[in-house]
A and B are shown apart, each in its own frame.
Chain A
């Protein structure tokens, strides 16, 4: 960082204090609370006692927790590459200028302005088995009606669908910026060398897009590990645990089972996972030369 103006110790501190207090209390302290709380349990008499690893050992033998781990991993393994591929496809589609292209770009970004709660309410109705217009369309086309959120095999995939409906345009913006950062000469040189469109994409665009793609993949994963609102609003983790993501389990532990030790133990596990992603993201962010 450049050299600033030297000033007696307390003046910079006064300027920094409100923000630093806010970050310490609301961003740092919760991490400590999650870690400590993960080692505590409440007795039947309502006393809080140190319980060592009991919460974690309980989780280790709890099939509900392991199902939730499995669903969370499956969800992330599917949704993150899917969203990156779709976002890259969208970015390539609207990259070259042309009449009306600006409109399409804005249109793709628009669902991002709809809150996750409203996305959930809207798609829950759109995909309703009896009354929803999507099933109306399917039967008008002579196809079979689908249960979507009410089916064990379709619910998680449908979640991925509605999350992507909202999110892909947002990630497209980052990849679009990455595409613009590639100098025109690169494509021109490849074209002169006789490379076809696929070869230009594979050997020019893709290697140069590694950094933005990686950034989007990691940032997207960190967010999707904490996916919550649509589960709470639409499926409540069901049917039969098919959409029981860890963040929802952590919420349920606290507010349905009133087991705060369990809730904070799961929160700690999630925080560790997110912190790992943050470290990778941070290195990416700090070194502009190489990914």
Chain B
């Protein structure tokens, strides 16, 4: 006994969902497909809009090959080095602190933990300009240190590790201690091997954070030797360039390199991020 037009709400819902998806995805698709077609074709069908705007007449790899010049390869190398260094140091430093907050009882623990939580409510962008003076004072401008060190300690990742370690029974560590293990061994041999998903989430967050960093690298290390991917792309576009194909190829590479780890770890990531805000 379904009323006539009962399909209408569902139909409208799907139509709305599809139109929004189109508006969000078409620009990205256009960027990718434009990086794979000859320059004259990009321009012709951008201004003269039609189905050809999205369906290329011919495909070419010239922009991708052109984009991977020495300068951009250097930027990719810099970004990868900075991102992986931040991941390695960040996992170690933040899990150690998370372990201490979860396992030990020491004076001032609660106050200190509240301070750590407070630190991640202050977006890093707010620190960029004053931090520049500190980094200049340390003589770190235009160095990998300047790019890596400020992003290693993270209140949010300490919080993630602490939440996980709190769930491990204390008896496990006490038993290990009675058997003569040091606290370092209890942390490294017992606690860390259990933290797989938290390490995955934290690594992805630190990697994406550094891979997509723009403001801080622009301020702290803009010399060609230390230029990172995002700054390289922005520079390229600032030169009033007409090399859209090259720019789209460089951008597509940058997006794909963030997207691949994201899709691989997406399940952990989305869950952790969302729970952190709602709990």
Interface residues of A in 135-187 (CB under 8 A from B): 135-137, 139-140, 165, 169, 173-174, 176-178, 181
B166 touches A2 (CB 8 A): yes
Q: Across the interface, which residues of A come within 8 angstroms of B230, CB to CB? A: 115, 117-118
B30 touches A133 (CB 8 A): yes
Q: A15-B104, A120-B234, A222-B121 are in contact. List 18 more A-B contacts (CB 8 A).
A: A4-B105, A4-B106, A5-B173, A15-B97, A16-B96, A23-B153, A28-B119, A104-B20, A136-B47, A139-B49, A165-B24, A173-B274, A177-B275, A226-B123, A264-B129, A267-B126, A281-B121, A282-B121
- 8 A-B pairs in the complex with CB atoms less than 8 angstroms apart: A1-B110, A4-B170, A26-B131, A104-B17, A104-B21, A223-B123, A226-B126, A271-B122
Q: Across the interface, which residues of B come within 8 angstroms of A29, CB to CB? A: 131, 134
Report the bound CA distance from A13 to B131 in whole Å: 26
B21 touches A7 (CB 8 A): no
Which residue of the partner chain A has the closest CB to B50? Answer: A140
**Which range holds the interface residue count of chain A?**
35 or more
> B residues near A, CB below 8 A?
10, 13-14, 16-18, 20-21, 23-25, 27-28, 30-31, 43, 45-50, 53, 92-94, 96-97, 99-106, 109-110, 112-113, 115-119, 121-123, 125-127, 129-134, 149-150, 152-153, 155, 158, 166, 170, 173-174, 183, 187, 208, 211-212, 214-215, 218-219, 230-231, 233-234, 236-238, 244, 247-248, 251, 254-255, 258-259, 262, 270, 273-275, 277-279
Q: A4-B103, A16-B97, A116-B212 are in contact. Are A278 and B121 (CB under 8 A)?
A: yes
A132 touches B46 (CB 8 A): yes
- A-B residue pairs, 6 tightest by C-beta: A22-B153, A136-B49, A278-B121, A19-B97, A115-B212, A15-B100
User: B25, B47, B122: which contacts A110 (Cβ < 8 A)?
Assistant: B25
Report the bound CA distance from A161 to B123 in whole Å: 22
Which residue of the partner chain A has the closest CB to B115? Answer: A23
A228 touches B125 (CB 8 A): yes
Q: Across the interface, which residues of A come within 8 angstroms of B279, CB to CB? A: 285, 288
Contact string against B for A residues 251-262, beta-carbon threshold 8 Å, 1 for contact and 0 otherwise: 100110000100
Asked if A65 is at the interface (CB within 8 A of a chain B CB), the reply is no
Q: Across the interface, which residues of A come within 8 angstroms of B208, CB to CB? A: 113
| Among listed A56-64, A123-131, A200-208, interface-contacting one | A123-131
Q: A25-B134, A104-B17, A115-B258 are in contact. Are A7 and B106 (CB under 8 A)?
A: yes
Q: Across the interface, which residues of B come within 8 angstroms of A98, CB to CB? A: 10, 13
Q: A4-B109, A131-B47, A132-B46 are in contact. Are A113 and B259 (CB under 8 A)?
A: yes
Report the bound CA distance from A254 to B218 in whole Å: 13
Which residue of the partner chain A has the closest CB to B53? Answer: A133
| Among listed A31-39, A74-82, A188-196, interface-contacting one | A31-39
Q: A3-B105, A18-B153, A26-B150 are in contact. Are A115 and B274 (CB under 8 A)?
A: no
CB-based A-B contact count at 8 angstroms = 272
Asked if A12 is at the interface (CB within 8 A of a chain B CB), the reply is yes
Q: A11-B104, A25-B134, A108-B24 are in contact. Are A215 and B278 (CB under 8 A)?
A: yes
Asked if A275 is at the interface (CB within 8 A of a chain B CB), the reply is yes
Asked if A242 is at the interface (CB within 8 A of a chain B CB), the reply is no
Which residue of the partner chain A has the closest CB to B93? Answer: A18
A11 touches B123 (CB 8 A): no
Which residue of the partner chain B has the closest CB to A226? Answer: B125
A23 touches B155 (CB 8 A): yes
User: A133, A136, A139, A177: which contacts B274 (Cβ < 8 A)?
Assistant: A177
Q: A27-B119, A133-B53 are in contact. Are A123 and B27 (CB under 8 A)?
A: yes
CB distance from A17 to the nearest CB of B (A): 9
Which residue of the partner chain B has the closest CB to A212? Answer: B278
B100 touches A16 (CB 8 A): yes
